Amino acid sequence: MNNKNNSIYLEKPKYLYTILMRGDNGAGKTQVLNRYVDGDFGDTSGYVDFKVKNLIINEEYIKLRIWDLSIGCESFRRSQAYFRNIHGIVFIYDIINIESFTSIKQHWYEHYKKFRLDNKDVPSSKSSLNPGYGLKNNIPQILVIGTKSDLRNKDNYKKCVDTDQAREFANSINALFYETSSKDNINVNSSFLDLTTQLINCTETIEVSNNNDQKTQQKKPFSICSIN
Ligand X SMILES: Nc1nc2c(ncn2[C@@H]2O[C@H](COP(=O)(O)OP(=O)(O)OP(=O)(O)O)[C@@H](O)[C@H]2O)c(=O)[nH]1
Map the footprint of Mg ion across residues 11-70, applying CB under 5 A.
30, 70
Residue 73 interacting entry, from Mg ion, ligand X, none, C-beta within 5 to 8 Å by type: none
Q: How far is CA 76 from CA 69, 83, 100, 141, in A?
A: 9, 11, 21, 22
**In the complex, minimum distance from the CB of residue 65 to Mg ion, in angstroms, rounded to a whole number:** 17
Q: Which residue lies nearer to ligand X by CB, 50 or 222?
A: 50
Residue 97 interacting entry, from Mg ion, ligand X, none, C-beta within 5 to 8 Å by type: none
Answer whether 143's CB lies under 8 Å from 109's CB.
no
The partner residues of 67 in beta bridges, in order of sequence, read 20, 50
- Map residue 10 onto helix, strand or coil: coil
**In the complex, minimum distance from the CB of residue 1 to ligand X, in angstroms, rounded to a whole number:** 26
- Map residue 52 onto helix, strand or coil: strand
Residue 188's contacts (CB-CB under 8 Å, 6 or more residues apart) are 32, 35, 36, 180, 181, 182
**In the complex, minimum distance from the CB of residue 23 to Mg ion, in angstroms, rounded to a whole number:** 9
Q: How far is CA 111 from CA 81, 116, 204, 216, in A?
A: 12, 9, 26, 40
Residue 26 interacting entry, from ligand X, Mg ion, none, C-beta within 5 to 8 Å by type: ligand X
Q: How far is CA 220 from CA 112, 131, 193, in A?
A: 26, 16, 21
**Per CB under 5 A, does 147 bind Mg ion?**
no
Q: Applying CB under 6 A, which residues contact ligand X?
A: 23, 25-31, 44, 70-71, 147-148, 150-151, 181-183
Residue 146 interacting entry, from ligand X, Mg ion, none, C-beta within 5 to 8 Å by type: none
Map the footprint of Mg ion across residues 86-125, applying CB under 5 A.
none
Q: Which residue lies nearer to ligand X by CB, 65 or 148?
A: 148
Contacts with Mg ion: how many residues (CB under 5 A)?
2
**In the complex, minimum distance from the CB of residue 111 to Mg ion, in angstroms, rounded to a whole number:** 18
Q: How far is CA 50 from CA 37, 65, 158, 212, 227, in A?
A: 10, 7, 35, 45, 11
**In the complex, minimum distance from the CB of residue 30 to Mg ion, in angstroms, rounded to a whole number:** 3
**In the complex, minimum distance from the CB of residue 90 to Mg ion, in angstroms, rounded to a whole number:** 13
Q: Which residue lies nearer to ligand X by CB, 26 or 221?
A: 26
Q: Which residue lies nearer to ligand X by CB, 73 or 173?
A: 73
Q: Could you tell me the sign of the dihedral formed by the alpha carbons of 103, 108, 111, 113, in that order?
A: negative
Answer whether 33's CB lies under 8 Å from 51's CB.
yes
Residue 27 interacting entry, from ligand X, Mg ion, none, C-beta within 5 to 8 Å by type: ligand X
